[in-house]
Amino acid sequence: MAEYPARRIDYREQGSGPTILFVPGSWSTGALWRSVIAPLGDRFRAVTTSLLGYGDTDESRTPDDLSIEREIDVIEAVIQRTNSAVHLVGHSWGATVCLATVLRDRTKVASMTLIEATPFNLLRHSGDLELYEQVHAVADAYVRACDDGKLLAARSIIDFYGGDGSFDSFPARTQDYIVATTPTNLLDWSSAWDFDAPLAAYAGITAPSLFVRGERGHPVVKRVAEVLTNVVSRSSLVTVPGASHFMPATHASDVARLIRAHVATVETMR
């Protein structure tokens, strides 16, 4: 467990070697990465955490402060706890928080591997207005459903990312956790719309970056990965065959292989 400031932050680590910090997205905890970390063996120091309001990480956002900066505070605190330059690995909203952390540029980041990143405001800056309006409409409908007290409003977001039936395919325990933490996810969306970096800011990222998307992912998320690859220097794009948004769970071995190769390449360069 880490503290920043006087708040609990989920922190677990195993193994030794180059430090990889695994950042999960919404409705998830560090446990998401177990099946990804296992194939890496003991060649790496694997650190996991959870974002605000999930797992053992306290919520610090308030109605008056929903900034993504509060999420960055968590990641920076974990990086400081590792006392090393880290290879950031993020999924979904966690990948977006990783991007924001690198842009704030207060900590040592050796590389990034970002899976199905969701900085949707980027689509407005890149001129992909139809896709931007599509995801905004989905998010707005979700918020209205939550305001109307619909307990399974989150199903629309899960199915948006993973395809129809994704929510129903999850184990009952996972569904219950999603429903219980939906208020936190609503805060995530507010923080996400608050994050509105221009293209020029992304162009200033120098950390070697690997952007990963699923072959069966939503077109909105797939396009985000393309835009990021086009604007971030020293970056590359990989599409995982047969995978969709939740590939850390469904394609763990593929994700582990990509992370291992990317980190090994960067470490060799260093």
pTM for this entry: 0.96
**Of 173, 141, 78, 132, the residue nearest 90 (C-alpha):** 78
- In the prediction, which pLDDT does 265 show? 96
Q: Which of 31-40, 46-55, 140-149, 222-231 has the lowest mean pLDDT?
A: 140-149
Strand, coil or helix: what is 54? coil
How large is the average pLDDT for residues 39-51? Answer: 94
Pairing outcome for strands 209-214 and 235-240: parallel
Domain boundaries, the chain: 2-120+197-269
The pLDDT confidence band at residue 42, using thresholds 50, 70 and 90, is confident
**pLDDT for residue 131 is more than 90:** yes
* Type of residue numbered 207: A
- In the prediction, which pLDDT does 192 show? 97
How large is the average pLDDT for residues 173-199? Answer: 96
Domain boundaries 2-120+197-269, corresponding CATH code: 3.40.50.1820
**pLDDT for residue 157 is more than 90:** yes
The pLDDT confidence band at residue 269, using thresholds 50, 70 and 90, is confident
Quickly tell me which residue has 């099946």 as its tokens.
35
Alpha carbons 32 and 128: distance in angstroms, whole number? 31
